Amino acid sequence: MPRAAPRRYARSPLVEKQLRELPELGSTEFRDALEVRDRKAPGFVRDEVLVWAIRQLVLNERLSDAQHVATELLERWGRLLVGRSYKWFPHSEQQREDMRQEISARLWKEILDPAESFWEANFWTALTRLCSDVAKSLIEKETPVHLSVLEDIAGDAGLGLPHSPSPEVDALKTENQAEFAAAFAQLPEKIRAAVYLAYVERWKASSSDPNEMTISRALNVSDRTVRTLLRQGEQLLLEWHRKTENEGGMR
């Protein structure tokens, strides 16, 4: 059965403008336009327009032309994908390879599927989401390790105290952002959300002011749970940092 008619997300005005102009371009002009790689140049064709063009070409059975445009998209974004694999898995070549393969396979499947209309609305966001989804599914395979750590610290005596940011974690975040991000990426999702709000957005765990946005309100969990999540997160981040230092840095 064909997929249901896709929901169309609003494209940005610039993408809409380029799509209106596209039919006026001859195929040679379009190929020339693809050569413009500088994103700020006036003739730069937006990624969302390329996705649209690929889909139209496939629909009209012009597969060779569609593949040409897809190759251009790959030239633009391929190295970013490689970079993402290093961000999520800086220490495992195998996992980087797995991530790249999985992303690539899913990327073209979604781009060739017109029902996946979000790619035409915001390519970068769609790609970011795809990378995260793939990375998280690979990290989930490591979940037993995280769970055992969580259980170990469940009885932490300090849980009753209000949470205050850890100077060690703050230092790690300030001094080595790449390493902090890599360690942060390995955290289980719920812990990662709490750590993000506490250390990046700088939100309080809880507050008596009903109008103040807090971690517990955003995540809809109790203050005690937020403190638990944050302490677990801090411990995991610092353990990961110590481990990588012993192994001689990120690479």
Partner 1 sequence: MKDEVRASVLAYMQARERGDEPSLEELIRQHPEHAADLVSFAAELFIATAPDDPAVSETIANDDLAVERAALDAAFTQRQYATRLTSLLGRAKQRGFEASDISAALGLGIDVIHKLDMRMIEPASIPEDLCRELSTLLDISTRQLTTYFSEAAQYAAPQGKRQQLQEAVRASPSTPSSDKARWTSSNAQTPNAAGEHLAAFGDARLTVQVSGSALKEARQRKGIDIRSLAQRLTQGGHSVDTSTVLHWQTATSTVIGVDVLEAISRILGVRRADLEVKAGVRSSVFSRVLQSSTFKSKLKQWSANHGISEAHALAQLNLQLGAAAQRSTGEPTEEQVQELLLHLLDEQTRDG
List of residues contacting partner 1 (CB under 8 A): 7, 9-10, 12, 58, 61, 63-64, 66-67, 70-71, 74, 78-79, 81-84, 86-88, 90, 97, 100-101, 104-105, 107-109, 112, 118, 121-122, 124-125, 128-129, 131-132, 177-182, 184-185, 189, 192-193, 196-197, 200-201, 203, 213, 218-220, 249-251
Locate 189 and state its tokens.
Answer: 């999702």
Shortest approach of partner 1 to residue 147 CB, angstroms?
19
Locate 13 and state its tokens.
Answer: 């005005």
Name which of 64 and 148 has its Cβ closer to partner 1. 64
> Rounded distance, CA 172 to CA 169, Å?
5
Q: What is the DSSP string of 30-84?
A: HHHHHH---TTSTTPPPHHHHHHHHHHHHHTT-HHHHHHHHHHHHHHHHHHHHHH
Shortest approach of partner 1 to residue 81 CB, angstroms?
6
CA-CA distances (angstroms) from residue 17 to 24, 205, 216, 236?
A: 12, 45, 43, 48
Q: Are 166 and 194 in contact (CB under 8 A)?
A: no
Locate 153 and state its tokens.
Answer: 């610290």
Please, how many CA atoms are within 13 Å of residue 187, restricted to the half-sphere of its CB? 25
Name which of 74 and 159 has its Cβ closer to partner 1. 74
Shortest approach of partner 1 to residue 251 CB, angstroms?
5
Name which of 128 and 152 has its Cβ closer to partner 1. 128
Shortest approach of partner 1 to residue 121 CB, angstroms?
6
Name which of 33 and 233 has its Cβ closer to partner 1. 233
Shortest approach of partner 1 to residue 152 CB, angstroms?
24
Q: Are 75 and 66 in contact (CB under 8 A)?
A: no
Shortest approach of partner 1 to residue 163 CB, angstroms?
17
Shortest approach of partner 1 to residue 112 CB, angstroms?
6
Name which of 79 and 224 has its Cβ closer to partner 1. 79
> Rounded distance, CA 97 to CA 101, Å?
6
> Rounded distance, CA 178 to CA 176, Å?
6
Name which of 20 and 202 has its Cβ closer to partner 1. 202
Name which of 128 and 161 has its Cβ closer to partner 1. 128
Q: Are 218 and 200 in contact (CB under 8 A)?
A: no
Locate 250 and state its tokens.
Answer: 């990120």
